Amino acid sequence: MSPAFIFEDHVLAVRKNRWTLWQEGLLSFALVAGVTGVAFALDRMGFPSPESLGILFVLPVLCAAVFFDLRLALATVGLSVIAYHLVLSAAYGSLDVSNPQVLAKVVVLLTVSLVVSALATRLRRITREGQTRENFLTDLYQLNQDLIGKTSVDDVCAAAEHRLSVILQAPCRIHLKPSSALDPVFVEVMTRRQPAGQGQAISGEDPRLILPLGEADDVAGVLVFEPRAGLPPVADTFPQRFLSTLTGQVALAISRAALTEARTEQVRQADRERFMSAMLSSLSHDFKTPLVGIIGALEALQGRVDDTAHEIVGDGLAEAQRLNRFVINLIEMSRLETGIRPKCEPVHIRDALSGVLRTLRPLIGHQTFRIEIEPGFPLLNVNPSMFDLVLLNLIENALKYGPAEGAITIGARQTADGVVIDIDDDGEGIAPAQRDLVFTKFYRAVDGDRKIAGTGLGLYICREIMDIYSGSVEAVDPPDGTGACMRLSLPTDATLLVTLPEEEVE
């Protein structure tokens, strides 16, 4: 365990209590008294050179300078000078210093004692600072060793809490951003990126010391040191630069672990998507041929049965066609992910809508459509089958998630940047938080999973196809405030400036 090292002299003075100073003072007095007794005894025994005994009084001064506080060393100097004068001066027991020789000896002893005391004090300070730096580096090394190899944020936090509790001898806890928002002091520390508690500018009355983890906009959370039982506050014992270095190292380790976790999750997700794509691509091609045969057989059978069987065959044909659309989505997804750019042809929006609605006729039921095409709407320079697939997926979603007798409005108009096609339904709509997620591969809303079957690929494929033409598809606020509105946007480069007859509203 690393002790709590003191970095400044005044901090050392704070940590010494009165009883310790009195003990050292009594010991200094005892040393002076002992040396005085020895010098007096030698002088009385007829020591040939009594003046030489003055060197004995340097010993208590050296001891005080090396082992005690500088103030005690100076007090010891004064005691030694007085004792030397009283014992070895020509007039014993007198404080008369009129004799120039005695006065010179006193001055010399005082000067030597002060110089030695200052040198000893400086050496002790240098030694203490060297030991402090060594322990500072040792603490950082131990913390770094504990954090090396940790690839998860939880492991980094656990290791940092244990090591910092050992280094600073105070219970330590790390609160990351999600949990930090529960404490207003934590929020203020992260916002202002300044320490709080234990006399700091923020919540100085708080007994805890709260430090921000990170700098600028990269604050991961806060580091909290609880009060230390029987010991001074952490903020009073350790300088801010030392604490900042520790928190910086922990913040860096947390950031590194977070990046590692994100990278690992990305790799895992990419592997999952590659597996799913490979499996679905294989299955979709295997399903395509038998599905074509089933649909052809059901269409041929539909005109040769009675009315009761005709309805049953019609239901089977509708389900087979729906399954065929799923397979087409899977095949198109595989093509898109290979980077194949389809051939473009002029496409009239009304022709595309007519073909899609004819395909979706079995799903329409009692729902009504309103098609509003702006006069002068240009031809689209896109791949017909892929653009039909975009319209089919969007309109099919509007049919599935809209009410059984609702209305679907399809509007097409020109803009300064190209063209916009809106598909608006009367359903429950899409929550703002899900409007971007619904275009993610394999994403399904909870309600949709309970009510309607699907693969979660339709909207993803729509976005991928629109990206080919530098366009976009997004969920926007519906004009009437109800239901969901899907908006297709194509740039001017994806249109052909050909004058067409004025369109009518249907």
Task: Compute the distance between CA of residue 367 and CA of residue 273 in angstroms, rounded to an integer.
Answer: 36
Dihedral over Cα of 257, 258, 263, 269: its sign: positive
Q: Concatenated DSSP letters for 253-303? A: HHHHHHHHHHHHHHHHHHHHHHHHHHHHHHHHHHHHHHHHHHHHHHHHHHT
Binning pLDDT at 50, 70 and 90, where does residue 290 land?
Answer: confident
Is 3.30.1240.10 the CATH number for 344-496? no
Task: Compute the distance between CA of residue 231 and CA of residue 234 in angstroms, rounded to an integer.
Answer: 8
Q: Position 72: which residue type?
A: L
Q: Which residue has the higher pLDDT, 10 or 301?
A: 301
Give the burial class of 439: count Cβ atoms within 10 A of its Cβ; 0-12 exposed, 13-18 middle, 19 or more buried.
Answer: buried
Average pLDDT over residues 70-89: 74
Flag whether pLDDT at 422 surpasses 90. Answer: yes
Q: What percent of the chain has pLDDT over 90?
A: 9
* CA nearest to 114, candidates 83, 70, 69, 68: 70
Q: Where are the alpha helices (DSSP H) in 148-228?
A: 153-168, 177-180, 184-192
Contact 404, 431 (CB under 8 A): no
Task: Compute the distance between CA of residue 190 and CA of residue 188 in angstroms, rounded to an integer.
Answer: 5
Neighbours of 32 (CB within 10 A): 26
What end-to-end distance do the CA atoms of the chain give, in Å?
83
- Provide the pLDDT for residue 337: 62
Contact 453, 322 (CB under 8 A): no
Flag whether pLDDT at 474 surpasses 90. Answer: yes
Helix (H, G, I), strand (E, B) or coil at 203: coil
Average pLDDT over residues 465-492: 90
Average pLDDT over residues 294-315: 75
Largest CA distance in the chain: 147
Contact 369, 356 (CB under 8 A): no
What six digits make up the tokens of 365? 């039921």
Binning pLDDT at 50, 70 and 90, where does residue 489 land?
Answer: very high
Which residues, at least 6 apart from 356, have a Cβ–Cβ distance to it below 8 Å? Answer: 388, 391, 392, 395
What six digits make up the tokens of 174? 């790390």
Which helix or strand (DSSP H or E) is residue 388 part of? helix 384-401
> DSSP character for 404?
T
Helix (H, G, I), strand (E, B) or coil at 127: helix
* Alpha-carbon separation of residue 23 from 16, 18, 68, 69, 76 (angstroms): 11, 9, 10, 12, 14
* CA nearest to 117, candidates 81, 197, 63, 53: 63
Residue length of the chain: 506
Q: Concatenated DSSP letters for 363-387? A: HHTT-EEEEEE-TTPPEEEE-HHHH
Binning pLDDT at 50, 70 and 90, where does residue 141 land?
Answer: confident
Dihedral over Cα of 424, 429, 432, 437: its sign: negative
Average pLDDT over residues 389-404: 87
Contact 24, 69 (CB under 8 A): yes
Strand pairing category for 418-424 and 379-382? unpaired
Average pLDDT over residues 209-215: 85
Binning pLDDT at 50, 70 and 90, where does residue 13 land?
Answer: very low
Q: 149-260 has which fold?
A: Beta-Lactamase (3.30.450)
Name residue, tokens 């930090």.
180
Q: Concatenated DSSP letters for 446-463? A: HHHHHH----S-HHHHHH
Strand pairing category for 221-225 and 209-213? antiparallel
Average pLDDT over residues 133-151: 81
